Amino acid sequence: MAALIKLENFSKTYNSGEMEVHAVRSVSLEIQAGEFIAIMGASGSGKSTMMNSVGCLDRPTSGKFWLDGVDVGSLGRDQLADLRNKKIGFIFQGFNLLARSTALENIELPMLYLRPSIPAREQVERANQALSMVGLADRGDHRPSQLSGGQQQRVAIARALVNHPKLLLADEPTGNLDTQTSIEIMGVFQDLNRKGMTVIMVTHELDIARYCKRNVVMRDGRIVGDTAVTNRLDAVEELQKLRLEHQAVQLAT
Amino acid sequence: MIIIATIRMAIRALQRNTLRTLLTMLGIIIGVGAVIAMISIGNGARAQIESQIASLGQNVILVMSGNFSRGGIGMGFGSAGTLTKEDFEAMTREVIGVSGASPEVRGNAQVAAGNQNVNTSIIGGSEEYAVIRSWTITSGSNFIDQDVRSANKVALLGKTTAGTLFGDGEAVGQVIRIKNAPFVVVGVLGAKGSDARGFDQDDIIIIPYTSAMKRITGGTTFRSISVQAMDAASSPQVQSDLNELLRQRHRIQDGKEDDFTIRSQQEIADFATASTKVMTVLLGSIAGVSLLVGGIGIMNIMLVSVTERTREIGVRMAIGARGQDILLQFLIEAVVLSVVGGGVGVIFGIGGAYAVAKTQNWATLVSTSSVVLSFLTSAGIGIFFGFYPARKAAQLDPIEALRFD
Ligand SMILES: Nc1ncnc2c1ncn2[C@@H]1O[C@H](COP(=O)(O)OP(=O)(O)O)[C@@H](O)[C@H]1O
Ligand SMILES: [Mg+2]
């Protein structure tokens, strides 16, 4: 079976004034369907740049990129938009929800741009399903400002999933969250991955990367490490442990 | 993307900043309102002048004393007094194609009947005057040529005058006193209404010109003579024959200017409609400029809105909105702004036209075409001025839009 994602000599160079910044340098990488990958590396190592290109938000300067067998480099603006709409769910570090729309409206948004379009009633139905899947069934009419960071990220995940994509991309999804909420989000990802979703996420936290199956490490725009995770963490267990620790602390005081 | 969903989205976006939305619409509201009100005023003036000219009578040629050609022609009449009774008689006798003619003298006089007393305008004419000027006679009858020849004291009352003097009672057969001279009312005229300047055309008394010159206006000359041509086709020939006849009679040498002015009803109508058309166009285009300013206001606000919502645009693009979806979203927002503004403007425009009609006593005529046209124009303005900001939004790069703050 062909790889879901294939990068070949993938490079991205930014031209900011006279300075040339080689954000990604000739990276080659294959990712199969069903994988759960953490892309790691220091700040500025090119993780986001690569993720944005894989998410069809940006184009590489040179090199090739196939998504699900399609040569993305040959596609136009509209076709890229359609790919983002149907095949890819993108989750951002800053959530990027529309502040003046409710949680449910935010989740409905990708269906608005679906071609061919689906009936309004089905849109609401699917949005509600996605909302209960991330455990926020009763928060549909809340605005982002009325939700906690973890809840906002759950809404963002529901939005990313509502068009049933093949691939879930997350750029530092736990960057703005506390430890427990981060583990909860990783639990959601593990659950999705178990059901067959391919998940690629960027993180610079080592312990978060241990919830994934494969870790790719970048430095200065190159891949310097690519390993399978051996002693993988399970979010349910870790949350249980955390709860026990809490109780112990409370008993001790 | 479904249009209806986009329209709903646009309305919600506009509701979020109600004050700004209202202020932006204000330009279009004022513009459309002004266009409709101004065109209504212009059309009203034209309709009234047209009906007034029609009431002048069919195929009427007006011979006025004095020369107006240098100062252009007004609706007024000459005062130089160059038209004599002999001129009038020669016209009916010597010009072929004339079906009727009447001199006209005018004056104001105190008129009394019983204990009622009014000051009204007195018109002296021949027995053909009422017919030529398309007056109808609702009761009684016209005076006859014998009355004119003998300067009999008989009178036709305008509807208003009859009402003032006799109320609902029968006027025909009664005696009225004009400047203390007793006149017998022989007929009452049908209503013509008020003219373009708001004067009541029915507030008159028509008497034989001979009687009028003897007792009211004095003098021996006429300010004008109305000549009716047999039909429209013979009208130009009659007009030039009249011209020749008068030049001959007044012994005007070649190269010298006429001491009279001849205008056909058509010429008067053409001039009047041309001048009201100019007025309508002038008023309309001044109002149109404000509509344009309203459109520029929409463009301005939409540009601000696109900049403010760059991140939102980025998010929408990131989850799969095509450029055209974003274009449509902002275009529809601009069109909703302008169409709602246009709708409110239509209401204000019609209201304004009525207000002017009521307070200024001007005739206004709200035409459906001006309403439809300015409404469509406002929608067009939304599309035209909304397009540039919308395209700017649609061409944003998703990544750069997402990074914007
Ligand atoms: N739009 C841009 N213009 C210029 N340089 C950029 C731009 N985006 C990223 N870079 C540079 O590219 C390099 C990689 O950035 P990035 O992919 O964001 O790293 P990471 O996500 O790993 O922190 C950095 O040196 C960064 O400064
Ligand atoms: Mg980054």
pLDDT at A253: 77
* Closest chain A CA to residue B17: A100
pLDDT bin (cut points 50, 70, 90) of residue B288 is confident
Query: What's the pTM?
Result: 0.77
Question: Bigger pLDDT: A226 or B276?
Answer: A226
Give the mean pLDDT of A218-230. 95
- Rounded to the nearest whole angstrom, what is the distance from the C-alpha of residue A38 to the centroid of ligand 2? 13
Residue A46 CA: which ligand 1 atom is closest? 17
pLDDT at B76: 42
- pLDDT at B102 > cutoff 80: yes
- pLDDT at B219 > cutoff 90: no
Q: For residue B325, give the nearest of A84, A97, A113 by CB distance.
A: A113
**Are A100 and B16 in contact (CB < 8 Å)?**
yes
Percent of chain A with pLDDT over 90: 87
- pLDDT at B50 > cutoff 50: yes
- Rounded to the nearest whole angstrom, what is the distance from the C-alpha of residue A49 to the centroid of ligand 2? 7
B344 CA: distance to closest CA in chain A (Å): 27
Substitution site in A13, A14, A200 for ligand 1 pocket (most atoms within 8 Å of beta carbon): A14
ipTM value for the complex: 0.94
- pLDDT at B80 > cutoff 70: no
Lowest mean pLDDT among B155-159, B359-363, B378-382: B359-363
- pLDDT at B215 > cutoff 80: yes
Fold of A5-252: Rossmann fold (3.40.50)
pLDDT at B185: 93
pLDDT at B365: 84
Q: Which ligand is nearest to the CA of A45?
A: 1
CA angle B98, B195, B177 (to 5 degrees): 80
B319 CA: distance to closest CA in chain A (Å): 5
Domain boundaries, given as residue ranges, for chain A: 5-252
Give the best-scoring range by mean pLDDT among A47-61, B3-17, B29-43. Answer: A47-61
Half-sphere exposure of A14 (CA within 13 A, CB side): 12
B321 CA: distance to closest CA in chain A (Å): 6
Mean pLDDT estimate for chain A? 93
**Are B402 and A92 in contact (CB < 8 Å)?**
yes
**Are B319 and A113 in contact (CB < 8 Å)?**
yes
- Rounded to the nearest whole angstrom, what is the distance from the C-alpha of residue B201 to the centroid of ligand 1? 86
Residues in chain A within 8 Å Cβ distance of B14? none
**Are A120 and B5 in contact (CB < 8 Å)?**
yes
Q: Which ligand is nearest to the CA of A14?
A: 1
Percent of chain A with pLDDT over 70: 100
* Closest chain A CA to residue B325: A113
Give the mean pLDDT of B267-282. 83
pLDDT at B285: 87
pLDDT at A24: 96
pLDDT at A26: 94
Residues in chain A within 8 Å Cβ distance of B319? 84-85, 90, 109-110, 113, 159-160
pLDDT per position as a tens digit, B222-263: 888 999 888 888 888 898 899 889 888 888 888 888 888 888
Q: Check CB contact of A93 with chain B, cutoff 8 Å.
A: no
**Are A81 and B311 in contact (CB < 8 Å)?**
no
**Are A112 and B5 in contact (CB < 8 Å)?**
yes
Lowest mean pLDDT among A120-124, A169-173, B54-58: B54-58
Residues in chain A within 8 Å Cβ distance of B324? 78
pLDDT per position as a tens digit, A185-207: 999 999 999 999 999 999 999 99
Neighbours of ion ligand 2 (CB under 5 A): A 48
* Closest chain B CA to residue A83: B320
pLDDT bin (cut points 50, 70, 90) of residue B69 is low
The span from the CA of A226 to the CA of B323, in Å, is: 37
Q: For residue B323, give the nearest of A77, A84, A120 by CB distance.
A: A77
- pLDDT at B78 > cutoff 50: no
- pLDDT at A77 > cutoff 50: yes
- pLDDT at B1 > cutoff 60: no
pLDDT bin (cut points 50, 70, 90) of residue B319 is very high
The span from the CA of A68 to the CA of A51, in Å, is: 16
Give the mean pLDDT of B273-288. 84
Which residues contact ligand 1 via a Cβ below 6 A? A 14, 16, 21, 23, 41, 43-49
For chain B, what is the HEC assignment? CCHHHHHHHHHHHHHCCHHHHHHHHHHHHHHHHHHHHHHHHHHHHHHHHHHHHHCCCCCEEEEEECCCCCCCCCCCCCCCCCEEHHHHHHHHHHCCCEEEEEEEEEEEEEEEECCEEEEEEEEEECCCHHHHCCCCEEEECCCCHHHHHCCCCEEEECHHHHHHHHCCCCCCCCEEEECCEEEEEEEEECCCCECCCCCECCCEEEEEHHHHHHHCCCCCEECEEEEEECCCCCHHHHHHHHHHHHHHHCCCCCCCCCCEEEEEHHHHHHHHHHHHHHHHHHHHHHHHHHHHHHHHHHHHHHHHHHHHCHHHHHHHHHCCCCHHHHHHHHHHHHHHHHHHHHHHHHHHHHHHHHHHHHHHCCCCCCCHHHHHHHHHHHHHHHHHHHHHHHHHHHCCCHHHHHHCC
Q: Check CB contact of B372 with chain A, cutoff 8 Å.
A: no
Lowest mean pLDDT among A46-55, B154-163, B268-277: B268-277
pLDDT bin (cut points 50, 70, 90) of residue A176 is confident
Q: Which of residues 217-236 of A touch B (CB under 8 A)?
A: none
Number of A/B CB contacts below 8 angstroms equals 67
Residue B400 CA: which ligand 1 atom is closest? 1
Residue A50 CA: which ligand 1 atom is closest? 17
- Rounded to the nearest whole angstrom, what is the distance from the C-alpha of residue A43 to the centroid of ligand 2? 7
Q: For residue B319, give the nearest of A52, A120, A159 by CB distance.
A: A159
Residues in chain B within 8 Å Cβ distance of A96? 311, 314-315, 318, 402
pLDDT bin (cut points 50, 70, 90) of residue B272 is confident
Q: Which ligand is nearest to the CA of A219?
A: 1
Mean pLDDT estimate for chain B? 87
Q: For residue A81, give the nearest of B315, B322, B402 by CB distance.
A: B322
- pLDDT at B158 > cutoff 60: yes
